[in-house]
Amino acid sequence: MPPEIPLPIQYNPYKHHFRFLLNELSEWQKSDWKIAKKAMLSIGNNLFDFYLGKLTPEQVSMACLNYFETKNITNKTEFNNWLGDSDWKKIVLTDQSEWLIKKGNLAERYIHIHPAKYSKHTIRVRATTLKTVLTLCVNKIPIRDDASQNLQTVNKQRSLFLQLSAIKSLNEKDSGILKLWQIFVNAETTN
């Protein structure tokens, strides 16, 4: 768990937070590939919701804790009572993003948070898509005007660094890789 995630929050910004990963990218670009690859293990292999908003991981965590304070929920027992028989509940933060709240699986981190599906400031992302784009960005590979060249580059990176199979196309309309790659590249050029 990154140090900016306060107790009792359980939150994985490697999997759910765009701006956190932008900061990580700048460090990964200066270091050995093994460091980035190890960090990417936290992303897992599923489909998930990825927060693109302005709140930092610490601000998201603190906003969730503030929500619970306003409800006088200050310990694990009160949290469990609030959650009741539900597997999860949804709350809305100051930027209008929605977050799912579940029971954490760590004793000291009993409030597990992640962005809600189709919430404001979020997109759905496959883990392999995110890992592919992060690899492209770590290696500072630009998007080219030539679609076949982009496809060749993506497949080379997937094979060489991630041991993932090749993809068949990077269709501009429906390629999650291309869309996410553009988001990261555009953010890097504006920072």
pLDDT digits over 49-90, tens only?
Answer: 999 999 999 999 999 999 999 999 999 999 999 999 999 999
When pLDDT is averaged across residues 151-159 and rounded to a whole number, the result is: 96
Asked whether residue 1 carries a pLDDT value surpassing 70, the answer given is no
Single pTM value for the model: 0.92
Length of the chain: 191
Please report the pLDDT score of residue 188 as a whole number. Answer: 72
Alpha helical stretches, state H, the chain: 13-16, 18-28, 33-40, 57-70, 76-83, 127-138, 147-157, 176-190
Please report the pLDDT score of residue 15 as a whole number. Answer: 95
Asked whether residue 162 carries a pLDDT value surpassing 90, the answer given is yes
The amino acid present at 142, given as its one-letter code, is P
Please report the pLDDT score of residue 4 as a whole number. Answer: 84
Please report the pLDDT score of residue 139 as a whole number. Answer: 96
Q: For residues 89 and 73, what is the distance between their CA atoms, to the nearest angstrom?
A: 14
Please report the pLDDT score of residue 189 as a whole number. Answer: 65
Q: For residues 3 and 151, what is the distance between their CA atoms, to the nearest angstrom?
A: 37
**Which has more pLDDT, 172 or 14?**
14
pLDDT digits over 109-148, tens only?
Answer: 999 999 999 999 999 999 999 999 999 999 999 999 998 9
Asked whether the bond before 8 is cis by omega within 30 degrees of 0, the reply is yes
pLDDT digits over 34-50, tens only?
Answer: 999 999 999 999 999 99
Structure tokens, 29: 């670009």
